[in-house]
């Protein structure tokens, strides 16, 4: 696609959103829908660094909010010279409109597809394959979403899941799954809200013949 980036515009908007995030901590908006629900500066730097190293071509984000984490991912792609296209999903039309405006201001709208949809339904419908995924969905949906996406991840794909420390109880089953599932290598990074870094392992030769009902068993957990 090779749509050029405007580095200064992306950086300025990231700083603006971080300032708003800091202001929310001291004086939260009255209405939940007005909140950024962002990963914060540490989480944003992690997203940028991971994308910079992984150089994904196709990415999926569940939980768009203001578009902050998507901008960080695209900033990482810029630094690495990667031609990333990101699909980002949010159920709230107001948040999607806010993010769309931010992507246009940053000059990256042509690299992002915004879907106004339930995250789990999107995970079921989208075909992939995906090299990079960020899960910042409602916490009860994270595990079923990941199960839907597992067969759509490329070998070496990176999945980042936010709020592992701030929502530890809600994500306990998710953590147990990703740290024990044989196709994943996964660990908690104690940065920001707590981010789980999960890598889809390349299959061994002996694993390449998979029973036809394997995906259905995975979904049923």
32 lies in a domain? Answer: yes
Residue 135 included in any domain: yes
Whether 2 is covered by a domain: the verdict is: no
In a domain, 39, yes or no: yes
90 in a structural domain:
yes
pLDDT score, position 39? 72
Give the number of domains in the chain.
1
pLDDT > 60? residue 207: no
Q: Which structural domain, as residue segments, surrounds residue 136?
A: 7-220
> How many angstroms separate the most distant Cα atoms in the chain?
56
CA distance 190 to 56: 24
- Domain containing residue 188: CATH number: 3.40.50.150
Give residue-wise pLDDT tens across range 155-184: 999 999 999 999 999 999 999 999 999 999
pLDDT at 208 over 50: no
Flag whether 152 is in a domain: yes
Give the torsion through C-alpha atoms of 71, 77, 82, 86, to 10 deg.
-30
Q: Residue 2 above 90 pLDDT?
A: no
Q: What is the pLDDT of residue 212?
A: 47
* pLDDT in the model for residue 65: 87
**113 within domain boundaries:** yes
Asked, for residue 1, whether it belongs to a domain, the answer is: no
Q: What is the pLDDT of residues 71-130, one digit of tens each?
A: 999 999 988 999 999 999 999 999 999 999 999 999 999 999 999 999 999 999 999 999
């Amino acid at each position: 696609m090779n749509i050029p980036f405007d580095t200064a515009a992306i950086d300025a908007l990231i700083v603006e959103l971080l300032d708003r995030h800091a202001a929310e901590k001291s004086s939260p908006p009255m209405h939940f829908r007005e909140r950024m629900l962002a990963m914060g500066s540490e989480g944003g730097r992690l997203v940028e660094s991971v994308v910079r190293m992984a150089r994904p071509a196709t990415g999926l984000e569940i939980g768009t909010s203001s578009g902050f984490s998507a901008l960080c991912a695209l900033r990482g792609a810029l630094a690495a010279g990667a031609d990333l296209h990101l699909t980002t999903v949010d159920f709230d039309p107001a948040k999607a409109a806010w993010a769309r405006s931010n992507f246009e201001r940053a000059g990256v709208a042509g690299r992002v597809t915004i879907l106004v949809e339930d995250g789990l339904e999107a995970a079921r419908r989208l075909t992939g394959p995906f090299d990079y995924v960020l899960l910042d969905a409602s916490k009860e949906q994270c595990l079923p979403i990941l199960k839907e996406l597992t067969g759509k991840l490329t070998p070496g794909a990176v999945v980042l899941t936010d709020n592992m420390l701030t929502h530890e109880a809600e994500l306990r089953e998710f953590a147990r799954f990703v740290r024990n599932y044989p196709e994943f290598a996964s660990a908690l990074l104690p940065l920001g809200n707590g981010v789980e870094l999960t890598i889809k392992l390349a299959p061994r030769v002996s694993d390449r013949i998979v029973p036809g009902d394997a995906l259905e068993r995975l979904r049923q957990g």
